[in-house]
């Protein structure tokens, strides 16, 4: 492995995970139990058992499966689907308000924020907690420090959403070296070993977002031809259909006034998700809900019913597919393969409709939950200099322009332009001696400025005083390889740089972020050791449970000596679990136990692999089984 380690992170609406690029190809990071997916769920609770003790009880933050498991008991302090909120205003997320059990409030600049027991948290801070958890796990498993990352976002994310994601990385102490589009990442993982020149489509239907991208793939070159999508269309919407059906019928039967407290809403969400998953493999699913006071609701949902509810959402995805083909100037006959990404592509209706529109069976041989992280790792490999043969040419999903006289949108960069790309526009003054000009930057496809997304107001300052119309201020707009806009300006008559003051319409200014980062450092220094100790203890617990489980399943494969080493290491770790106050020492002990359990893990993984890939040709397996060791 190269000296430089950049972590590839798929920061998903429902689940997040990481992968790294190894000489043999990208590898997903799994814990001792083979788990890679971390639910993107955060739970906040007052920690009574805090090591700080008694009166100074600290806020305990848990992330992942544990947080998810307690969502029903703790509905208002459990946050999920943060990705639906990031980079958006409260007005953008009105529809989500009634479904999400936690409180969404307007923060600074009308940004959608989350109120947890009186603490207002931005989606950036919340995403940072998830990113931090993913990083911590990766560090524990890789046994080295991680400071750089590639983070994926939906291709259809706009500038504000991309900026916000990068800010989240920064808050988590990660240098986000690249924001990569999820369908592009998937294509990277899919096509890495393919030599043949072909055009592929990536259909990415996730928990909260939908993207479709068309790419030309040939000899290590991945060129995106077009992309289309909707950043608020995902599996969550299908869950919501089921929830609405059930709550509607419950109200009909037991009275309109029946309220659904947050805990019930959370339980309904879990139920809807379970129903959806069940209906992917069976033709009906039974529901039973205890409403208290001796009232209960039972019902069976059939696949047909579910499909009629899900139909309009799936139809929307198909419309985006058609638009993407149109934009690329192609028809379905030109598409050689349709790669399916995201958990929602497991739904049979989705697969049928995709097969219809592209006129071919979609490619489902790669794990739709992991392929994006694998692709992020490939991109990380490119950035780290490990792979010079691979060239990624992505596009900007939305047109960028400025507000012109009369409130129209004057497009400067068209959607689907290959990034990086740039455009320039010359501005002048209207009044003698005027020294500053305001410009409103927009993103979107609509004709009127008010229908487009306002990215920010840019103020050109320090223009030399001249008669009206004399100054020529050339403003250059550059969309970089992250799909993020950068602006610079120069007064061409005098050759002076005009200062560009960027005030993002949404999101945070650089100063805001700096303050937040500083704050988190201040706190970090105060209780870093204690937090680390708690984290390592949790990790120890997980590792010990996983080893016990593995011993039951495959303990007999160990040689006597291996068994002896493992038992000693486990005993040491168990003894130190509660008593040891030094996180580093405890970590070392845990690592020893984990290392000693390696033969077990390998045996289990082999068993799982041979189970999962039974009857499939080797070349269908894709890069995720690459077992290269460093």
Partner 1 sequence: MTEFKDEPKNAAPVKCSKCQATIKGTAVCDFCKSLNPAAASLDFFSLLGLPVVFDIDPAELRRRYLNLSRHAHPDFHVHDSQEVQSLHLQVSSSLNEAYQTLLDPASRAAYLLERLGGKSSADDKSVPDGFLGTMMMMQEEVHEAVDAGQAEELLRLREVLQTQLEGLVRRIGELFQQHQEAVICQAVTTDILNEIRKQVNAVSYVKKLLDMTR
Instruction: In whole angstroms, give the CA distance from residue 608 to residue 612.
Output: 6
User: With respect to partner 1, which residue has the nearer C-beta, 11 or 180?
Assistant: 180
Query: Is the CB of 68 or the CB of 490 nearer to partner 1?
Result: 490
The two structure tokens encoding residue 547: 């080893």
Q: Integer distance in angstroms from the first to the last C-alpha of the chain?
A: 6
Q: Confirm or reject binding of residue 423 to partner 1 (CB under 8 A).
A: yes
Instruction: Count CB neighbours of 564 within 10 A.
Output: 12
DSSP-derived pairing of the beta strands 437-443 and 103-106: unpaired
C-alpha dihedral sign at 30, 390, 150, 587: positive
- What string marks each residue from 440 to 479 as x (binds partner 1 by CB under 8 A) or -? ----------------------------------x-x-x-
Active site residue 230: no
Q: Which of 69, 291, 408, 421 binds partner 1 (CB under 8 A)?
A: 421
DSSP-derived pairing of the beta strands 210-218 and 400-404: unpaired
- Furthest C-alpha separation in the chain: 91
Residues 324-353 that bind partner 1 (CB under 8 A): 326
Catalytic residue among 133, 136, 182, 273: 182
Closest approach of partner 1 to the CB of residue 384, in Å: 8
The catalytically annotated residue of 159, 204, 211, 241 is 204
CB of 177 to partner 1, least distance (A): 5
- In this complex, which beta carbon is closest to partner 1, that of residue 177 or of residue 537? 177
| Interface pick for partner 1 out of 52, 57, 391, 524 (rule CB under 8 A) | 391
DSSP 8-state assignment for residue 464: P
CA 25, CA 604: separation in Å to the nearest integer? 22
Contact between residue 123 and residue 467 where contact means Cβ atoms under 8 Å apart: no
Check binding of 433 to partner 1 (CB under 8 A). no
Q: Identify how many contiguous H helices and E strands the chain contains and give both numbers.
A: 14, 27
**Interface mask toward partner 1 for 178-217; x: CB under 8 A:** x---------------------------------------
Contact indicator for 501, 459 with CB cutoff of 8 Å: yes
Token couple for 272: 């809807």
**Does the active-site annotation cover 83?**
yes
Q: Which residue in 11, 419, 580, 600 binds partner 1 (CB under 8 A)?
A: 419
| Beta bridge partners of residue 404, listed in sequence order | 408
Q: According to CB under 8 A, which one of 480, 512, 535, 567 is a site residue for partner 1?
A: 480
**Containing H/E element for 371?**
helix 371-383
Q: Please tell me whether residue 551 binds partner 1 under the rule CB under 8 A.
A: no
- Among residues 34, 143, 359, 385, the one that binds partner 1 under rule CB under 8 A: 385
Residue 388 is a binding residue for partner 1 (CB under 8 A):
yes
22 near partner 1 (CB under 8 A): no
Q: How many CB atoms lie within 10 A of CB 124?
A: 28
Task: Indicate which residues carry an active-site annotation.
Answer: 10, 83, 182, 204
Residues making contact with partner 1 (CB under 8 A):
4, 177-178, 221, 326, 379, 382-383, 385, 388, 391-393, 412, 414, 417-425, 474, 476, 478, 480-481
């Amino acid at each position: 492995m190269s000296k430089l380690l950049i972590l590839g992170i798929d920061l998903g609406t429902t689940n997040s995970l990481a992968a790294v690029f190894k000489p043999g190809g990208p590898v997903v990071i799994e814990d001792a139990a083979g788990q890679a997916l971390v639910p993107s769920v955060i739970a906040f609770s007052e920690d009574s058992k805090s090591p700080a003790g008694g009166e100074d009880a600290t806020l305990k933050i848990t992330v992942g499966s544990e947080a998810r498991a307690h969502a029903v008991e703790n509905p208002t302090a459990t946050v999920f689907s943060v990705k639906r909120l990031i980079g958006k205003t409260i007005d953008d997320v009105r529809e989500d308000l009634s479904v999400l059990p936690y409180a969404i409030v307007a923060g600074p600049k009308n940004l959608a924020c989350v109120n947890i027991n009186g603490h207002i948290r931005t989606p950036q801070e919340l995403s940072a907690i998830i990113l931090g958890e993913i990083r911590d796990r990766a560090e524990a498993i890789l046994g080295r420090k991680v400071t750089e990352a590639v983070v994926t976002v939906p291709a259809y994310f706009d500038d504000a959403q991309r900026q916000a994601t990068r800010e989240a990385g920064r808050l988590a102490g990660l240098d986000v070296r690249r924001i990569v589009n999820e369908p592009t990442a998937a294509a990277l993982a899919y096509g890495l070993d393919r030599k043949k020149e072909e055009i592929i489509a990536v259909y990415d239907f996730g928990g909260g977002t939908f993207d479709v991208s068309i790419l030309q793939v040939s000899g290590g070159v991945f060129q995106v031809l077009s992309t289309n999508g909707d950043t608020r269309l995902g599996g969550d919407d299908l869950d919501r259909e089921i929830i609405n059906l059930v709550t509607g019928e419950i109200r009909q039967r037991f009275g309109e006034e029946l309220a659904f407290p947050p805990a019930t809403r959370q339980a309904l969400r879990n139920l809807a998700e379970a129903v959806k998953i069940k209906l992917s493999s069976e033709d009906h699913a039974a529901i039973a809900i205890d409403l208290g006071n001796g009232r209960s609701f039972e019902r069976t949902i059939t696949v047909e019913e579910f499909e009629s509810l899900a139909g309009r959402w799936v139809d929307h995805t198909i419309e985006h597919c058609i638009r993407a083909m149109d934009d690329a100037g192609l028809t379905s006959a030109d598409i050689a393969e349709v790669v399916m990404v995201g958990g929602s592509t497991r739904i049979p209706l989705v697969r049928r409709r995709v097969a219809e529109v592209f006129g071919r069976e979609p490619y489902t041989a790669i794990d739709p939950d992991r392929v994006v992280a694998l692709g992020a790792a490939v991109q990380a490999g490119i950035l780290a200099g490990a792979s010079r043969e691979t060239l990624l040419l992505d596009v900007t999903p939305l047109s960028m322009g400025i507000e012109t006289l009369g409130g129209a949108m004057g497009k400067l960069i068209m959607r689907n332009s290959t990034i990086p790309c740039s455009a320039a526009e010359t501005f002048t003054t209207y009044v003698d001696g005027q020294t500053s000009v305001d410009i409103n930057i927009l993103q979107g496809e609509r004709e009127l400025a008010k229908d487009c997304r306002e990215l920010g107001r840019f103020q050109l300052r320090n223009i030399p005083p001249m008669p009206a119309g004399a100054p020529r201020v050339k403003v250059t707009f550059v969309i970089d390889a992250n799909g993020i806009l950068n602006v610079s300006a120069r007064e061409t008559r005098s050759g002076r740089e005009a200062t560009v003051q960027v005030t993002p319409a949404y999101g945070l200014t650089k100063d805001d972020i700096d303050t937040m980062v500083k704050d988190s450092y201040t706190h970090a220094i105060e209780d870093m050791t204690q937090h680390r100790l708690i984290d390592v203890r949790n990790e120890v617990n997980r590792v010990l449970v996983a080893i016990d489980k593995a011993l039951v399943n495959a303990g007999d494969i160990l040689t006597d000596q291996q068994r002896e080493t493992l038992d000693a290491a486990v005993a040491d770790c168990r003894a130190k679990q509660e008593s040891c106050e030094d996180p580093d020492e405890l970590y070392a002990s845990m690592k020893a136990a984990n290392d000693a359990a390696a033969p077990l893990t390998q045996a289990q993984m082999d068993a799982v692999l041979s189970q999962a890939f039974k009857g499939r040709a080797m070349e269908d397996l894709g890069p995720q089984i690459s077992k290269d060791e460093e």
